[in-house]
Structure 1
Amino acid sequence: MNNSPIKTALCSFGMSGVVFHAPFISVNPNFNLYGVLERTKNLAQEKYPTIKTFRTLETMLADENIELVVVNTPSVTHFDFAKQVINAGKNIIIEKPITATAKQAEELIKLAKEKNVMLSVYQNRRYDSDFLTVKNILDQGILGEIIEAEMHYDRFEPGLSYKVHKETPTAATGTLYDLGSHLIDQALVLFGLPNSVFADLDTFRLNSKVADYFDVKLIYDSHRVTLKSSYFVRESLPGNIFHGRNGSFIKSKADIQEKELQAEKKPGTTDWGMEPESENGLLHTEKDGRIIMEYIPTLKGDYMEYYDGIYGAIRNNKSVPVSGEDGKNVIKVIEAAIKSNKEKMVIQL
């Protein structure tokens, strides 16, 4: 059995590489932060002196030491980059969204099977403290059958992003692909694929060329799920609102891991991913014939669980955390939402 650390390379060292990937790979003993693709700069080497810098994707993929490649480039490039990585026989993590279209995602899934490599989509928000707490409440069945759920990913950022690729109207851009990928994935984890989708997408920021607002309805047999995002929310509503036949659970979207990472706090500390008590969710339901209203302690968030799962999948043949199929299903919902907005009608999945 091969228990050696997995030599891993990043396809870029922008925000996602610096904040979401390198910190976890570098401190996890099951991984070796081996290489990075930087065409002109040496930012990764300044932070991680032992890392190997590659100037082209081709030279990086030619390095036989590399087992795992993280495609964390702009969304529009995911399909082309991923295809090259898989054809080189490397295991692959693709940042969300997996691709621009479900057809592209299906092609990558098929290719990964042919090449016998692991393919996973990076969906770190499955490991947010607030989402883990919501999932735990629902798994207990304490709310009874869910009737209605509402999940928000709101911000107050009326200006355009400094990241030009995020504001350029190409495939896989816009807030539905960006923030929507997280919310849709979370909804699918909780409830599976809906029967149909109805959506309203719009552009509200001055001079914006990409959609920056969405209100997506996922329609199931027994319940409805609303997913919303806006850049004009200075005072946010709770990010998680769940109503069942027995009661409700209301929880803020308050995971602190991104802030901790931006402050260069290293993952793995004892208080990692622990929200303040002030963000505890409100449970108001009926239990054993008694009405209860209490604040529920938030579970610990930990993005490292994703990478632990990747190690298990590669070294121990365990199930892949966030499979290619999971990523494709997110895109199917996004495509349905775009079609619904365009045709102003409910779209069957």
Structure 2
Amino acid sequence: MRRLESRLERWKTAETKPWKAAATWREGGGVLFDLGSHLLDQALALLGPVTDVHAELDAVRGGADDDAFVSLAHAGGVRSHIRVSTTTADPGPRLRVVGTDATFVTVTGDGQEAQLAAGTRPSAPGYGHGDDGRLVTAEGSRPVPSEPGRYQDFYGLLAVALLEGGPLPVDPRDALAVVELVEGIHRRV
């Protein structure tokens, strides 16, 4: 793999939650702490520790950052490009993995949030299925079926951890690494 491109872009003409626009990054505000933390966590989990960072943050509507691009260099020469925005009218693909012989692309990715908002229960047939991706090679393009998302597994593990003392579904050190990365980006920009 040469590059992982991961993005969550949305179009919000105004921030509907005033506290989000008013909170500074030191208070956990801004799109990089909000949506960006998930994508940064993904990049660290998949590609390992960061050796170099380049970031561009913007507050298009004023207040906290609402548009961000982060480029991370990982050991072994792999790079991740993270793009998060609440001010993008025409979002790009959710995920693109660029290799030397092929590229994998999925446009919308995980559909669980929209399914839950629409009232679909996790036990319903088809729950967790997102759009299929596609693999593009020199020979052409072919569909790649998506694996269903399973938010409920995370929350089940969290319940066991809290109620029965089981292991946490996320290592607190991983969460701390993401917070430190976001804080470091804000301090540099």
Give RMSD over aligned pairs: 2.0
1:106-129 alpha-carbon deviations (Å, 9 max, x no partner): xxxxxxxxxxxxxxxxxxxxxxxx
- Over the matched positions of the two proteins, sequence identity in percent amounts to 28
8 Å CA contact retained: 1:213, 1:231 = yes
Q: Does residue 1:169 correspond to 2:23, yes or no?
A: yes
1:134-176 alpha-carbon deviations (Å, 9 max, x no partner): xxxxxxxxxxxx1112111101112122x22211134110111
| Corresponding residue to 1:184 among 40, 52, 59 | 40
Distance verdict in 2 for CA 1:333–1:253, change over 3 Å: farther
Match of 1:283 in 2: 135
Cα distance in 2 for partners of 1:312, 1:245 equals 42
Cα distance in 2 for partners of 1:333, 1:158 equals 28
1:86-118 alpha-carbon deviations (Å, 9 max, x no partner): xxxxxxxxxxxxxxxxxxxxxxxxxxxxxxxxx
Cα distance in 2 for partners of 1:203, 1:313 equals 38
Cα distance in 2 for partners of 1:315, 1:203 equals 41
Where structure 1 has 5 or more consecutive residues not aligned to the other structure, the ranges are: 1-145, 342-349
Cα distance in 1 for partners of 2:184, 2:143 equals 37
| Corresponding residue to 2:118 among 260, 263, 272 | 263
Shift of residue 318 of structure 1? 5.1
Match of 1:304 in 2: 152
- Structure 2 matches for 1:192-203, cutoff 5 A? 192-203=48-59
Match of 1:238 in 2: 93
Cα distance in 1 for partners of 2:35, 2:183 equals 15
1:197-242 alpha-carbon deviations (Å, 9 max, x no partner): 111111112xx21111111111123111110122232222111111
Where structure 2 has 5 or more consecutive residues not aligned to the other structure, the ranges are: none
Match of 1:331 in 2: 179
Larger-gyration structure (1/2): 1
What's the TM-score once normalised by structure 1's chain length?
A: 0.50
Match of 1:9 in 2: none
Q: SS of 1:209's equivalent?
A: coil
What's the TM-score once normalised by structure 2's chain length?
A: 0.88
| Corresponding residue to 2:65 among 187, 195, 211 | 211
Cα distance in 1 for partners of 2:135, 2:118 equals 32
Tell me the amino acid that sits aligned with residue 110 of structure 2: D
Tell me the amino acid that sits aligned with residue 308 of structure 1: G
Tell me the amino acid that sits aligned with residue 180 of structure 1: G
Shift of residue 261 of structure 1? 1.7
Shift of residue 330 of structure 1? 0.7
Q: Which runs of 4+ in 1 moved over 3 A?
A: 311-319
- Structure 2 matches for 1:74-85, cutoff 5 A? none
Q: Does residue 1:340 correspond to 2:185, yes or no?
A: no
| Corresponding residue to 1:229 among 80, 84, 98 | 84
1:297-321 alpha-carbon deviations (Å, 9 max, x no partner): 1111120010222245457765421
Give the total of aligned pairs. Answer: 186
